[in-house]
Amino acid sequence: MPALLHDIHLLDLLELSGTSLEASRLMQLSQPTVSRRVRQLADDFGLEINPRRLVGCCYGTNAVMRLLRLSCRLHRLSNGAARLGADAILQPLLACCTWLLPTPPRFRLVESWVDLVRQGVLDGALVSGLEFQGDDPPHSTELEWMHVGSFPLTLATGPGVAKSAEISDPPVLVPNRTVAHGLRQNLSKCGLSLKTANNNSQSLVQWLKHLASSSLAMPLLDLEPAEWWQPLQRKPLPQPVHLPVWLVFPSGWQQQTVLVNTARQLQSHPALLNHEKV
């Protein structure tokens, strides 16, 4: 990436990870350096920082910053790379798209995913249809939605959970109460008891640590076991739940080869329910 765009890239990684510590790890910089450069960028462009904001850019945006971010997007896409967002449950789907840039997973409101793509922080996002207000995604003249398919959910438990019938339905770890309302509702309808994770539990690694030290379960897509699956035990839900997965892209995404290839790869995923494919 050209040096001119480095600080925009840094600001975006801070936006996506939510913490300067994680952004510093991803950028291989010290945490004070990240904080200093972000403060300087905020001062230079008049950005308003509000880490508690639920929708939109917590570390600020305006018309000028959006143009800079869209320039970064054009540079990424023209070089055959793209940055897609997803939460910890949907992120394993992106493993088949090796050309995608690493992006920290995070649970967000649908409106927040939409705004991050609109602003140019992300080039697209995988979004759970369980979180829509109704059956269809929100309308936007600047974005386009594509239905990827419907994936079955399963439960995963750590190796320490006993297999006895007395604890056949362990409490299920779910994201914090500000997000994933549809997921919580569907799991509750299955008769499962839910335990809310703290707001710092965003990555799959953090969730797996919860399972390793507790008798909890977590919801996952029912995919072929990957390496990180090995210590886990899979357990079916008391009744089937299928998670509709959608892609949100900027308008005109069909002109970008990397985004077209990403959409095709996801739509051909072997875990898809054939009758739900688009």
Q: What is the pLDDT of residue 273?
A: 53
pLDDT digits (tens, 9 = 90+) for 258-267: 999 999 999 9
Same-domain check for residues 42 and 173:
no
**How do the pLDDT tens digits run along the chain, 278 residues long?**
666 778 888 889 888 988 777 777 777 788 888 888 888 888 888 888 877 777 878 888 899 999 999 999 999 999 999 999 999 999 999 988 999 998 999 999 999 999 999 999 999 999 999 999 888 898 888 999 999 999 999 998 887 665 544 456 889 999 988 899 999 999 999 999 999 988 778 888 888 888 887 889 999 998 876 766 777 888 889 999 999 999 999 999 999 999 999 999 999 988 775 444 43
Among 128, 57, 52, 58, residue whose Cα is nearest residue 86? 128
Q: What is the CATH number of the domain that holds 15?
A: 1.10.10.10
Asked if 254 and 206 count as a contact pair (C-beta separation under 8 A), the reply is no
What is the C-alpha to C-alpha distance for residues 275 and 138, in angstroms, rounded to an integer? 24
128 strand-pairing partners: 245
* pTM for the whole structure: 0.89
* Same domain for 151 and 100: yes
Token pair belonging to 258: 């990397």
Question: Which residue, of 28, 47, 79, is where some domain finishes?
Answer: 79
- In DSSP notation, 92-111 reads GGGGG-TTBPP-------HH
**pLDDT of res. 191:** 93
Last residue of a domain, which of 58, 79, 100?
79
- pLDDT attached to residue 67: 93
Strand residue runs (E) in the chain:
84-85, 124-128, 143-157, 172-174, 194-196, 217-221, 233-235, 242-250
| Alpha-carbon distances, residue 99 vs 29, 61, 80, 95, 267 (angstroms) | 24, 27, 7, 10, 16
Instruction: List the beta bridge partners of residue 156.
Output: 218, 234
d(CA 83, CA 115): 14
* Interstrand relation of 172-174 and 233-235 (parallel, antiparallel or unpaired): unpaired
Same domain, 235 and 178: yes
**Domain limits at 233?**
82-278
